[in-house]
């Protein structure tokens, strides 16, 4: 089980999120992309919340999704 630092989430909620990500990844990511993602996923270990701006850390998932959709529609994302 992955432990989330400074989290108020219980183990069941954490596992539910991990399961959701795994299902979405398995169902929606093409094989060649999975190969690249798997190689890059090791960088997750190096992530630090301090590396993200306060605005990113404080927004909700719903807000983040809306921001990403809007930025994608306006072609503001560079990937």
pLDDT digits (tens), the chain, 79 positions: 445 555 677 888 999 999 999 999 999 999 989 888 888 888 888 889 899 999 999 999 999 999 999 999 999 999 8
Per the rule left: phi > 0, alpha: psi between -120 and 50, beta: everything else, 52 is: beta
Residues 53 and 69 in one domain: yes
Q: Residues near 71 by Cβ (< 8 Å), separated by ≥ 6?
A: 77
- pTM: predicted TM-score of the whole model, two decimal places: 0.62
Closest CA to 15 of 33, 5, 3: 3
Query: What's the pLDDT score for residue 47?
Result: 87
Instruction: Confirm whether 4 is domain-assigned.
Output: no
Number of domains comprising the chain = 2
User: Phi, psi at residue 10, to the nearest 5°?
Assistant: -85, 170
Residues 18 and 40 in one domain: yes
Closest CA to 19 of 5, 37, 2: 2
Residues 19 and 40 in one domain: yes
Quote the domain boundaries for residue 76. 48-79
Residues 38 and 56 in one domain: no
Contact 79, 71 (CB under 8 A): no
Instruction: Confirm whether 16 is domain-assigned.
Output: yes
Residues 55 and 72 in one domain: yes
Query: What's the pLDDT score for residue 28?
Result: 93
């Amino acid at each position: 089980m992955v432990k989330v630092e400074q989290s108020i989430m219980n183990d069941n909620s954490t596992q539910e999120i991990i399961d959701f990500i795994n299902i979405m990844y398995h169902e929606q990511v093409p094989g060649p992309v999975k190969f690249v993602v798997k190689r890059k996923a090791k960088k997750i270990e190096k992530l630090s919340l301090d590396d993200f701006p306060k605005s990113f850390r404080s927004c909700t998932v719903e807000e983040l999704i809306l921001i990403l959709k809007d930025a994608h529609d306006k072609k503001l994302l560079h990937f």
